[in-house]
Amino acid sequence: MPVVKYPRVRDPLFYEWDRKAQKCGLRHTVYAVNGNQYTGEWLDNLKHGKGSQTWKSTGAIYSGDWKFGKRDGYGSYSIPDPVTKEYKRVYTGWWKNDKRGGRGVFFYPNGELYEGEWSNGLRSGWGKMQYKDGSVYEGQWLADQPNGQGVLQLPNENRYEGSWKDGKKHGPGKYFYLDKGQLLEGIWVADIPKCGVLVDFGRDNAPAPPQYPLPEIELHDPAGVLAEAQAMFDDSHN
Per-residue DSSP letters for 140-207?
EEETTEEEEEEEEE-TTS-EEEEEEETTEEEEEEEEEETTTTEEEEEEEETTEEEEEEEEE-SGGG-S
> 4 in the Ramachandran plot: left (φ > 0), alpha (ψ -120 to 50) or beta?
beta
Instruction: Count the Cβ atoms, other than its own, within 10 Å of residue 40.
Output: 20
Structural domain count, the chain: 1
- What's the confidence (pLDDT) of residue 29? 86
CA-nearest of 45, 92, 90 to 73 is 92
> 202 in the Ramachandran plot: left (φ > 0), alpha (ψ -120 to 50) or beta?
left
- Residue 82 in any domain: the answer is yes
- Report the CATH number that the domain containing residue 165 is assigned in CATH: 2.20.110.10
- What's the confidence (pLDDT) of residue 200? 80
| Single pTM value for the model | 0.79
- Name the burial class of residue 135, with classes exposed (0-12), middle (13-18) and buried (19+) by CB atoms within 10 angstroms of its CB: middle
- Residue 135 in any domain: the answer is yes
- What's the confidence (pLDDT) of residue 203? 74
71 neighbors 59 (Cβ within 8 angstroms): no
- Residue 34 in any domain: the answer is no
- Name the burial class of residue 67, with classes exposed (0-12), middle (13-18) and buried (19+) by CB atoms within 10 angstroms of its CB: middle
- What's the confidence (pLDDT) of residue 231? 57
CA-nearest of 89, 112, 116, 114 to 102 is 116
- What's the confidence (pLDDT) of residue 207? 67
- Residue 20 in any domain: the answer is no
- Residue 211 in any domain: the answer is yes
- What's the confidence (pLDDT) of residue 15? 44
- What's the confidence (pLDDT) of residue 28? 76
- What's the confidence (pLDDT) of residue 160? 98
- Residue 46 in any domain: the answer is no
pLDDT in tens, the chain (238 residues): 566 555 565 655 444 544 555 566 666 789 889 999 999 999 988 999 999 999 999 999 999 999 999 999 999 999 999 889 899 999 999 999 999 999 999 999 999 999 999 999 999 999 999 999 999 999 999 999 999 999 999 999 999 999 999 999 999 999 999 888 899 999 999 999 999 998 887 777 766 777 666 666 554 455 554 555 555 555 555 5
Q: Which domain holds residue 137?
A: 53-231
102 neighbors 93 (Cβ within 8 angstroms): yes
